[in-house]
Structure 1
Amino acid sequence: MELRQLEYFVAVAEEQNFTRAAERVRISQSGVSAQIRQLERELGAELFDRSARTTTLTVAGKAALEPARAALAAARAVRQAVGEVTDLIRGRLTVGMVIGCTITPLFDALAAFHRAHPGVEISLLEENSDRLIEAVRAGTLDLALVGTATAELDGLHALTIISEPLVVAVPAGHALAARHQVKLRDLAEHPIACLPSGTGLRTVFDRACAARGLRPAITLQASAADAIADLAARGLAVAVLSESMAAAYRDRLTPLVIEDLDAPALLALVWKSTSSPAVRELLVHSRRAFIEPVGVGGAAPATG
């Protein structure tokens, strides 16, 4: 008994016709008939009643149908399992990371994946979040760590790593330094330093301002939080950063709550639902690297 014989048997049973079954399995009708005759001889019973125009199952055929389907399903599962292992032995994983990212758990996840699957080639590149998201959609990236204003991204799955508010950061002696909180309209009187367009943090800020009809003067842009903080510390602009970013520069800057900005900036891993076994395996390591430390109180600063 061969798997192909069971495949032909199931095809004829479902199509109730040898000609249509032959078209379905892409061999000649005589080939299908010959293989089923051989199967019947091995089983010692006829599987089909061929006396009518419609081919129907005999009692023996009805008894054999579900076991035949189960055998074919088991064979497909074996092929899939072996294929997934092969992909993890010899494959390639292309990962994106938002520019200026200092989130070391991603590197921990990549290192753990590499130790488990040394045969998979890993590529890592930096880019703005909007371009990374489009690259994942297009399939040129397998997975990316991005800054975003929302976890609802068309066609993609997202795992939120960090969700936190934006703040304003100013140096001592600045006109806003004596205040504990500000409104977005208060920033219109000051030049602003912020991440560039295409980053999640900037998208959150721009959307909030646009919703209130505000057009703040973003005079300085940099892709690294260090540069934005340094520019603000020198008195060149007011910095707009995430809460954790600003906390890293408390020795030079005072963070102020933006009271009318409710939407948080997110840092998230994004991937397609049709991702490869290698991506699914990397996600296992990523959840361990990101989620477990956060669960015990350790979260890295967000960016992008």
Structure 2
Amino acid sequence: MSHLDLDLRALDIFVTVVEAGGMTAASQQKGITQSAVSQAVGGLEKKMNVKLMDRAVRPPALTPAGRTLFDRAKSLLDTARETSFMVRAHQQRSLPRLNVGMVDSFGITVGPHLVKELMDEALEWSVWSGLTKLHVKRLFTREVDVVITEGSVETEERIISHRLLREPFVLALPVGYTKKIESLKELSEDIPLVRYSSRSLTGINIETHLRRLGIEARRRFEFDTADATLAMVAVGIGWAITTPLCLLQAKTHLPSIRCEPLPGPAFSRSLMLATRRHELESLQKMISKKSCEILEQRCLPEISRFAPWVIEKMRVGEKVV
């Protein structure tokens, strides 16, 4: 047997088995049968004449040889993918397909301009939005190639990330609510809080902030998107904690919304751009540069029309990792 006789596809399946926690999960993630997963792992063991997994325990555990292969295989697969991208780049100027995950507020305000600017970089574009907690997970499972997500990105050797925007949370009130805002506690006792879903990072961050302040607003209204949340505020149902970009996303409702600084301690969110290291790094730089240009040249001027006081508190760019 040749010492170079390693099947990259089998290695990829083996790594997925370890990361997913079992062959059933790996088969679902890869979209292949559990039998095909088992055969791939068994084929590696046969070729190298070693036992990679201890199947006597549940879930199967790595043997010392399996741990060595897993650690080395990740680097080997990254190198193979990078090589593939580089070789194809000599054949064609565009990627065959680019899968992007975007937080809704970015996807609606920046996304269309970003795709228009970079549309020739890929023959096909697929953009996913929705709840951001799934975006980075999809980056690891290779369902997406690039993500623009909310919050910090876990430090991981296979991921490279940049911060595109840091923006403060602000107060959104019905335009007809003219009382002076002294505290969030008094406000929550006066009219209902319209919440972002607790399944979203925005909702989680807001709830954490309210708990720190000892505020227990009655739970009556909760929505998944900024547009839906702020539509409720616009018709006078209650108030919300949101961000300037979310308000821009829901700009059709702005004539009926009063935007004010958040009373009490300030807090903010970051929008991060992340890709797998050694893959698409030149495209990542292009996306980062164009995104920052769009934020500065298009979004900030629009935000300044309804909340001029917030512009100095917003930060575009800044490399994090």
TM-score, length of structure 2 as denominator length: 0.56
Offset, 1:232: 1.6
1:194–1:241 CA contact under 8 A, matched in 2: no
1:259 to 256, 263, 268: 263
Q: Is the 8 A contact 2:173 2:257 kept in 1?
A: yes
Residue of structure 1 in register with 2:136 after alignment: 133
Does the Cα contact within 8 Å between 2:168 and 2:244 map onto a contact in 1? Answer: yes
Aligned-partner residue type, residue 115 of structure 1: D
Higher helix share: 2
Q: CA deviation at 1:113?
A: 3.4
Q: Is the aligned partner of 1:205 residue 2:206?
A: yes
Contact 1:192–1:218 under 8 Å retained in 2: yes
> Bigger radius of gyration, 1 or 2?
1
Match of 1:98 in 2: 103
The 2-side partners of 1:178 and 1:202 are apart by 25
Does residue 143 in structure 1 map to residue 143 in structure 2? no
Q: Is the 8 A contact 2:168 2:267 kept in 1?
A: yes
SS of equivalent residue, structure 1 residue 131: helix
In structure 1, the residue matched to 2:233 is: 232
Amino acid at match of 1:186: E
Question: What CA RMSD, in Å, does the superposition of the two structures yield over aligned residues?
Answer: 3.5
Aligned equivalent of 2:283: 282
Q: Rate the CA distance shift 1:245–1:144 in 2: closer, same or farther, 3 A.
A: same
**Pairs aligned (count):** 221
Seen in structure 2, the aligned counterparts of structure 1 residues 204 and 288 have a Cα distance that, compared at 3 Å, is same
| Distance across 2 between alignment mates of 1:123 and 1:25 | 36
Which residue number in structure 1 is paired with residue 75 of structure 2? Answer: none
Aligned counterpart in structure 2 of residue 113 of structure 1, from 107, 114, 118: 118
Q: 1:117 to 1:254 in 2, by over 3 A?
A: closer
Compared with structure 1, are the counterparts of its residues 212 and 78 closer, same or farther at alpha carbon in structure 2 (3 Å cutoff)?
closer
Which of 144, 153, 170 matches 1:167? 170
Aligned-residue identity in percent:
15
Inter-partner Cα distance in structure 1 for 2:287 and 2:213: 38
Asked if the contact 1:106/1:289 (under 8 Å) is kept, the reply is no
Where does the alignment leave 5 or more consecutive residues of structure 2 unmatched?
6-81, 304-313, 315-321
Deviation at 1:239, TM superposition (A): 2.2
Which residue matches 2:87? 82
Q: How does 1:4-19 map to 2 (within 5 A)?
A: none
2:185 corresponds to = 185
- Shift of residue 193 of structure 1? 1.3
- Per-residue CA deviations over 1:55-78 (Å, capped at 9, x if unaligned) read xxxxxxxxxxxxxxxxxxxxxx99
- Whether contact under 8 Å (1:187, 1:216) holds in the other structure is no
Equivalent-residue separation in structure 2 for 1:254 and 1:222 (angstroms):
19
Matched, 1:158 2:161: yes
Q: TM-score, normalised by structure 1?
A: 0.59
- Unaligned segments of structure 1, at least 5 residues: 1-21, 27-76
